[in-house]
Amino acid sequence: MLLSFNKDAMENCTMEKLKPYMENPLFKPEKVRRISVACRSICIWIRAMYNYHYAKTVKMEPRIEKLKDGLAKKAEDSELKLQRARRLIGRLDGECQRWRARVDDLKTKRKNVVGDAVLASGLVAYLGSFPASFRSRFISEWQTRLQNIGLGYSSDFSLVTFYSTPQDIKAWAAAGLPTDDHSLENGIIVCNTSRPMLILDPQKQVSRWICSIEDPANIVVLDINSPRILGEAQSCTLSDNLLMVENIGNQIPPGLIKKVTALLKVTTLTHINVHIEAAKKRILHCGCILLTYEQGFNYSDEVNVCVSLNVVDFSITFHGLCSQLLSIAAEKERLDLEEERNHLLHQRLLLNCRLQEIEDHILTLLQGVMVSKSVRTCARGNNAKF
C-alpha cells in the first residue's frame, strides 16, 4: 500500500491534521525507534510525505506558476513577433522583386561598366562646350567604335544616370540648377572635373548654383580686373579653396590661362603633401573656375583654351527655359503654391534619403543574418567531422 500511495493526491486538510505530529519533538525517527523499529520506518515515510507536500505546495507551485506566466508571456511576445514578421515579409515581397530586378540591372551594368566609363569620361573631358545635339552625335560615334573593338556598353547610356543619383538631381534642382538633361550633364561635368574650367553662364545661374552646393567658406570670388588673381590662385591651392574669377567677358585676356594653369600645377606638385593633409570636403574638385556672362564667347586662341581649360557651356536650353518660366509665373501669380512646391520638393528629397538609409539598413541586417547562418552551418559541419 505504501508503494502504491499517490503522494500527489494528498490534500491540505490531511497535512493540517499531520502538522501537530510533525511539530511534536517525540515524533522523530530516533525517538520512535526506541519504542518500535518498524514504527521508525513508518515515521520516516510519514515525515517524507509531509515534507514532499510542503515543498510542492509552498515552494514549487509558486515557482511553477511564475514560470508558466513567464512562458505564456514569451509565447504571446513570440506570436506578436511572428505576426509582425509575416506582415514585414508580405510587405517586403514587392521590395524583394524590385531588388531582384535591381540585381539583374546591376549585373548588366557590370558587364558594360568599362564601355560606359569610357563614354562618360570622354563626355566630361571633351564635350562640355558642345550643345546637346553635338554631344549625342559624338556619343553615337564613340559607341560604334566601342562596338567595333568588342567593348560592351549600355544601349541607353546616359551621363546623368551613370554619374548621379535621383537624390543628387533633386538637391541640384533645389539649389537652382535647371532639370533638363543638358544642364544636368553640365552639372556633372562641373562636379567631376579636376582641370581649371571656363564656364559660359549667360543667365548667371551657375555661379548661384555653385555657391549653393559648395560651402561658401571654400570659395574665393574675384573679378577679372583684380590684381590679386595669381596670388589668390596660389593661396587657394594651398588651402584647398575654389577660386572663381568672374566677368571674363567674351575673350580671355592674353596670358591669363597659361599663368593660372601653370601656377596651379606647380603649386599642387610642390605642396602635394600639405594639400592632402589640409584637404577639405569639397563638392567641386577643380581649383579654378573662370566665369563669363557673355552670350557669345570668342575662341581667339581655341587650342590653348580647350587644352588648358575644361569649357562648359551653360547656355539655357528650350526645356530649361520653359521650366524656369513656369516657376517664375507661378511665383508671381501664386507665391504660396510655389513655396509649397519647393517645400514638398525638399521634403521629398529628405524622405528619399531616409528611405535609402532604411533600405541599406535592411539589407545590412539581412546580410548579417545570412552570414550568421552560414557560420553556424560551417560550425555544425566541422563538429560533425570531429
Q: Give the pLDDT confidence score for residue 215 in this predicted structure.
A: 80
Half-sphere exposure of 129 (CA within 13 A, CB side): 16
Q: Give the pLDDT confidence score for residue 295 in this predicted structure.
A: 75
CA angle 250, 251, 252 (to 5 degrees): 135
Q: Give the pLDDT confidence score for residue 268 in this predicted structure.
A: 42
Q: 41-98, pLDDT tens digit by residue?
A: 888 888 888 888 877 777 777 777 788 788 888 888 888 888 887 887 777 776 777 7
Q: Quick one: which of 217, 220, 211, 267 has its CA closest to 243?
A: 220
Q: Give the pLDDT confidence score for residue 258 in this predicted structure.
A: 64
Q: Give the pLDDT confidence score for residue 257 in this predicted structure.
A: 65
Low-confidence ranges of the chain (pLDDT < 50): 266-280, 303
Burial 329-343 (b: 16+ CB within 10 A, else e): eeeeeeeeebeeeee
Q: 197-227, pLDDT tens digit by residue?
A: 888 888 888 888 888 888 877 788 878 777 7
Cα R_g (the chain), whole angstroms: 40
